[in-house]
Each structure stands twice: as structure tokens, then as C-alpha cells.
Structure 1
Amino acid sequence: MHPPQLVDAFTDPSTARERLVGAFRHRLEELPSRGSSFFIHLIELCPVACEHCMYSSDLERKSDKVALSKGELEDAIRFISESSSQKLNITGGGEPFLKFSSILRLLETVDVPRIEIVTAGHWAVTPRRTARVMARIDEARSRNPGNPELLLRLSIDRYHLNAPRPVRIEHYGNVLRCWSETGPGFATGLRGIQPDLGTVDRLIAEEMGADVQEVDDWNRLLLLPGGKSVPITFNVFRRSGKALRLTEDHQGATKTLREYYGPFETRPGNLSLATAVNDAIRGEYTASAGLAVTLDSDGTFWIFCGTAPDRKLLLSGQSFAEAVAYFFEDPITHLLVDEGIWALSDLVMDLAPETHAAALAKNDSASLVNDLLAADDVRLAVTLIATQDLVTRNRATVDPGHPLAGILADPAADVTEMCRDLVLGNRGTP
């Protein structure tokens, strides 16, 4: 028989988790005070509408609010600069070049040493237009007092080439020729998917009269005429978003997340993407004392791979320190930041094997935490297990008046096993 107060908690797991988080008190002397990678999604729409898009992005509105307003962008610039992040990624959600003025505003004002812009490159329809766009990017970057290092990164794969509004090989060629010939003050690079390694990159090489040189399993160099080179990196194929509807089976042509991220673990089995400086195109995910943050186009933000889905915040004038303090009120954030996503993955595999299998099958780190913690009872179970771990290691306390305080402070209480029984029981699994 399990303690009745624990059984009662699982009758309304969402409320029970909220009460536990409210009673949780960590004992960290200092919280992270700066950022590592900062991801900003300017808009959820995209005209290319690739069939494999992890965000299921196209020109159809999926929410009432599809883009950051001018005022919200200014708030974001203040917040990003205050975070002292090492890198800003203008990426994700949709095509950022639909908000070109916002890109320029970020480039000329945000206080970070490095910036990366991710784009489909659909705008590079003619050499003249390409040159005009790239010149404006370079001018905006040069106005920034901090003189940040900038990388313009184009996505290359079969799905962009065959999209409803395709990005053609000539578009990539326009960007690369403009970059090679005009020598702007920023770098450019290409990123594809593993199933396309040796195909789309070869097509681009033929377009440019270039050679492709192998660097390692993940990276190539495009050697352009005249001596310049452009890095190409190949990421795993993500089966989330629209890709869930694809009939192609890429399983044999792409590695799993654990295989991909293995070389970047700070120790075996530990991968804290919540603290990483994302540098895939350089073959690095550098550990940092800061926090990786994602700001979505609806104004919500969270620690990347470090925040439970019910703890996201709306950007509304709070300081970076205030936001970090809020996130660390949740035991799950401590688990994800300290132990990494595989620790969460292994916990959920024991608690709810089907949930774990479905989440890992997507092969997508961006959705992994949300998918693993989507169910209320699993989220409560992980909160209880993480809390007991922190309390018994004297890194946290639970208010004495909380009905589970005694159990969570008892190192002999097998909270993990009890939670497993209750979660599996909810699912009718023996």
C-alpha cells in the first residue's frame, strides 16, 4: 500500500504539482546570471512550407498571434542584451526574413558577441536582389557598437527544393556568389539533413563549380573557386511536425539524438542542452555557465530543454534575473540543468514506456522535453522524484505544512517506485 497522501496527489496531478512547486525551496547560493545561446523566433509563418517542417510552418495562421510586434521586439532586445548571452540565433518557428526589418533591428542593436541567422534563402531570387539584401544585413551589423560576429546559415535539403514554393539551387548559388564576390563582413554556411548528405551539397557544388571536402561524419566544406570555403553541417532527420505525415523512411539514413549528441556530453550520459552554446555548424555544443533561452513569436519564453511545458513565461517587462528565479522554483528545471535531458528521458522510460518511445521516435531535441512531460501524471511523478533527490542531498527543502514533506525528506522512501506504480496504474499497465 502506498501512502494515502501520495495516492491522493495523483487524483489531480496538475493541482498537486502546482502545490508542490509552491512549497519547494532550493538552497542554491547563486543562480545562473547570464545566457549561453538565445533563440528568437520572429514569426510562425513561412512561404516555403516544406513537407518535413518540424514547426509545421506555412502561410496558414495557427494562432491568434503569429509574430512579435515592434514593442515586443524592443523588449526582447533589452532582455537578450541584459542576459549577456554568448550567441543569438535568429531562427525557428517560421521564416525570419518575413520580418526583415526585425532582423535588421536586432543586428544593429543587440549586445551579443555572435549572431546566427537561419533562413530558407527563398528571397535570393535574382543576383541583384540577393546583393541588396546581403548589403543591408552587412550595413546593419556594422552599425552595432559591439561589432558582433555574424553567420548567415541557409537550410539545404530535398524538401526545400521540392516545396510548394521551392528554394532552387540557383537561389543558393546567388547567395554564395554574392558572398564570395563582395566579401561582406559576415560568414555564410549551409545546413542539411543526414539523409541528403552527398546529394544536395553536390548539386550546390555543381552550381558553383566547387568541390566538397569531407571534414568528419557531420561536416563538409564547400571549396569555392577563388579559394574561399563554406561550412556545411548535416543534422539528424527530425520526425516531428509535418514530418510525422511523411511516407519516406529515413531511419537507416540518420542517427538518433543520443548518437548525434554523444560527442558533446560533458560526461557520459549527461547532456545539458539547457546550458549549451549551440554551434552545430562548427561541430560544437559548448558547455556554458549560462542558460540557453528560447523566445517564441507569441512572446512566451523558456529555458531550452530546461523548462517543463507548464512553466513557460510571457515576456512582460521582467528582468533576466527575475525570469531565472521563476524557472528555478521548479524541481524539474534543476534536474534538466544539472543532469541533462537523458536523465529525464531515463526517468520517463521507467514511468511511462509508451510516452518515452513516442517522444524519442521524433528525434527532435526541440520538442523532447515537452513530449516527455506532456502528461500531467508523468509531470507530477518527475517533480516528486526530482524533489526528493534535491531534499535528501540537502539542496532543497519542502515547506513542513505540505502533506508530502515527510515522504520527500525520507531517503528510505522509494518515491520513484511508488510513482511508477501510480503512473502505470493510471494507464492500466501492470
Structure 2
Amino acid sequence: MSLGGLRPYSVARDPGPVLRVMNGMGLWKAVLSGGGEPMIEPEFCERFVHEIDSPALEEIELITAAHFASDEKETRVRLRRLVDAWRTRGAGLAKARFSVRISLDWFHAQRIGVEPAARVIRMLGEDDMREVNCYLRSVLLDKDTTFEQLSEALGGELTPISDYQQEIRLPDGRSVLVYHKNLIVDGRMNDRKLSRLPVTIPTASRADVFGQRFLDGEGKHVPARVYNGPQVKHLDGLACLIEDSGKVRILEGNDPTRSPDVREHRTWQEAIEYLYADPVTVFLVDEGPQALAALISDAFPESVRIAADTNQLYHLTELLLDTPAKRLYATLRTLRLHQEQGRVTAPEGAVEAAWALLRAEGVAGSDGG
């Protein structure tokens, strides 16, 4: 209900390691995101916007639920400080755009209403802040009137949805993009709870349908290689996350038990070498979690069902590799593939010893070592 009730972030207490690693990543886009609310730590957000850099950096984005916009005065102070931090970036830093993405959906609106989001949008229309891009991200639900309410509060006109997108056309000539994604039915939300609500999930919001947007030319979805924003981009780089703990993850792209830490791996080069020493990570970056599910399904048949049924993009790999036996089996299967491709060598004695451990646990697949 308010920022005061949210837990502070540990990385914000020591921002140097995060910025040092990220500034060596060769970023195209740098995002201050959640798993919470970044504006719990406004000073960290301002420093990030002011200092994040890479030669090819095009955009800096802040994702917020607009909890901070509780009144006019507080909203103006917080937005102006962020905009000033962006405008006063050093002369040698990349000339990146600055965007504010507001997270708003039926669930947010039940807690805080649409006025905080409306307040941010109105204020970013003022002359001295109009250069800042602003858009909204929601989840696609039937019987959801959140954006009709927001459009009415702004005196705007809401366009129909097309390809999960619509616009609020404002009286001042701006258009604010609204991008819808699928609802994650997992963790705090489940089918039983959803059945009690006045909103429902349309077919277009199912993960298997929504996921069609991200398929590449070969019909594959490799989350580590895709920017899953309003306009999907297939990239040569990696979609990475740095968590509150300082752990670096590749989006659905590394063994969840093997992540570098920005406090221990002082450069991106050290972090990526640590990540790529793991054959599961290399396989996930090349092929994606759906392919991993298929690869280990001979020993763990439930993997295909998990991959098909999991209605989200951020924790599938954790579910597929949720036991030591699954992680070891996946490691050995991917290692064998990389050996056959001539990408790596491995001591056969150690590999056979690992297969023997699995056999002793009753794990047997089509490749038994």
C-alpha cells in the first residue's frame, strides 16, 4: 500500500559493484526493475540513471508501480530528481534516452487505484519533462476496466488492443503506449484464487499463445536472446538480471545454482567466464529451456509437462532443475552434446563417475554414460 512497508534492497547499500559490472557489459538497454519497487531506494535510482554507461547504450528505463506518486508535491520532487540525474550525465557517457515504465493492472488498481499512474503521466507532460518517454505494462485480462478508468482520469481516448498493445491518446497531443502480457499463474496467484475474482484469463493471455510472439525464424524461443518488450527484438547479446542479492542471472539461461556475484566477480568478463564454464548454461543460451525440458525428459518425463504448463518466463529453469539429480543429469547430457560438437573436452573418468552416481540413485535415461 505504500513504500514504507516494502523491504530495502541490499544492492542499493553498496551500488559500486553493480555499476562496475554493468558498465562493462556492453549494454543496449539498462533497466531498473522490480521483484518489488525500485523507488524504495530513490537515491540509488538517481545514481544509476546518472552513471550507468556502455558505448552502445541507447536507453535507460525505470520500472515503477508509481507507489511514490502519493501526492503532487512528492511526485514532482521524485520525477525532477530522476530527470535531473539523467540530464546531468557526464559528457563522456552515452547519450541514452530515459524512459519510465509504469506497471499497472487490475491487481495494482485494486490496491492503489489509477491516480498515482495518472499523476506521473500528467507530470511527464510538463514542458521541462516531456523528453522522458513513458509507457505502461499490464496483464491481459477479460472484464478488466483499469485502462478505461485511467483514460477517463487523463481525459484521453483509449484505442482498441492489437498485438497486445493499445494507446491512450491524451488531450495534449501525446500518446501513451499500453503493452499487455500474460498473467503469471504461479506463487501468490493460482487458479483457485483467480476463480474467485471478477476478471478472467482470455486465450491470448495463456503462456503458450502469448509465447508465440517471441519465436524466432526457426520457431524457437530462447529467452536469453530476446527482448520481450512491446516490440520483440531478437538480439546477439544476453538478457541478464542482477538480483537484490548481487547475483547475476541470464534470463532462463543459466543453472539457478550457479550464478556469479558482483561482489566476488568484479568484472563482466569474470562473470561471463564463470557462467560459460557450465554446459547447462551454454545449452540454455543456445537452445532455451523448452529444449532442455525435452533433453532431460527421457529420465524425468514430467519435464515436458512442466515446460508446457508453466505460465511464466522467469522461473521455468528453476522448476526443471529443482533437484541435484536433475541438475547432474542435465549437466552430463549437455556436456556430452558439447563434446560431440567439439566444443569442449572432459576427463572420461570424472564423467563416468558422475554417471555412476546417477545410476546408483536410480536415474537412467537414453544416454546412460
Report the TM range for the smaller structure's normalisation.
0.7 to 0.9
* Alignment partner of 2:188 out of 223, 236, 242: 242
1:92 is the counterpart of 2:40 = no
Residue by residue, what CA displacement relative to the aligned partner does 1:11-39 show, whole Å, maximum 9, x if unpaired?
xxxxxxxxxxxxxxxxxxxxxxxxxxxxx
CA displacement 1:243-285 (0-9 Å, x = unmatched): 138611444455333322323222334222212334x1x321x
How far apart are 1:241 and its partner, in Å? Answer: 2.6
Task: Tell me the equivalent position of 1:330.
Answer: 278
**Residue pair 1:158, 1:196 contacting (<8 A) in 2 also:** no
**After the TM superposition, which of the residue ranges 98-107 and 191-200 deviates more from structure 2?**
191-200
2:318 corresponds to which residue?
Answer: 370
Deviation at 1:79, TM superposition (A): 0.8
Q: CA deviation at 1:96?
A: 0.5
Three-state SS of the structure 2 residue aligned to 1:241 is coil
State whether residues 89 and 118 of structure 1, in contact with CA within 8 Å, keep that contact through their aligned partners in structure 2: yes
Matching of residues 220-239 of structure 1 within 5 Å = 220-239=166-185
Taking structure 1 as reference, are residues 157 and 403 closer, same or farther at Cα in structure 2, changes over 3 Å only?
closer
| Deviation, structure 1 residue 313 | 1.9
Matched, 1:130 2:80: no
Deviation (angstroms), 1:301? 1.5
8 Å contact kept, 1:328–1:334 = yes
CA distance in 2: counterparts of 1:240 and 1:392, whole angstroms: 38
Q: Equivalences for 1:261-410 in 2 at 5 Å?
A: 261-278=211-228, 280=229, 282-284=230-232, 286-316=233-263, 317-358=265-306, 360-404=308-352
Looking at structure 2, the residues matched to 360 and 90 of structure 1 have their Cα atoms a distance apart, in angstroms, of 30
SS in structure 1 of the partner of residue 277 of structure 2: coil
Partners of 2:194 and 2:348 lie apart in 1 by 55
Gaps of 5+ in 2: 356-362
Q: Distance in 2 between matches of 1:92 and 1:418?
A: 40
Change in Cα spacing, 1:421 to 1:331, as seen in structure 2 (3 Å) is: closer
AA aligned to 2:256 is: P
| SS state at 1:314 partner | coil
SS in structure 1 at match of 2:171: coil
Q: 1:404 to 1:421 in 2, by over 3 A?
A: closer
- Amino acid of the residue matched to residue 189 of structure 2? A
Change (3 A) 1:399 1:318: farther
Structure 2 residue identity aligned to 1:109:
E
Aligned equivalents of 1:66, 1:229: Cα separation in 2: 33
Amino acid at match of 1:84: G
Given that residues 141 and 147 in structure 1 are in contact (C-alpha distance below 8 angstroms), is that contact kept between their aligned partners in structure 2?
no
Question: 2:239 aligns to what SS in structure 1?
Answer: strand
Q: 1:136 to 1:348 in 2, by over 3 A?
A: same
Distance in 1 between residues matched to 2:213 and 2:58, nearest whole Å = 25
Q: Higher relative CO (CA 8 A, sep ≥ 6), structure 1 or 2? A: 1
Aligned letter for 2:209?
Answer: E
Normalised by the length of structure 1, the TM-score is 0.74
Percent sequence identity over matched residues? Answer: 24
The two structures have a TM-score, normalised by structure 2, of: 0.86
Q: How does 1:15-94 map to 2 (within 5 A)?
A: 47=2, 59=6, 66-71=9-14, 73-94=15-36
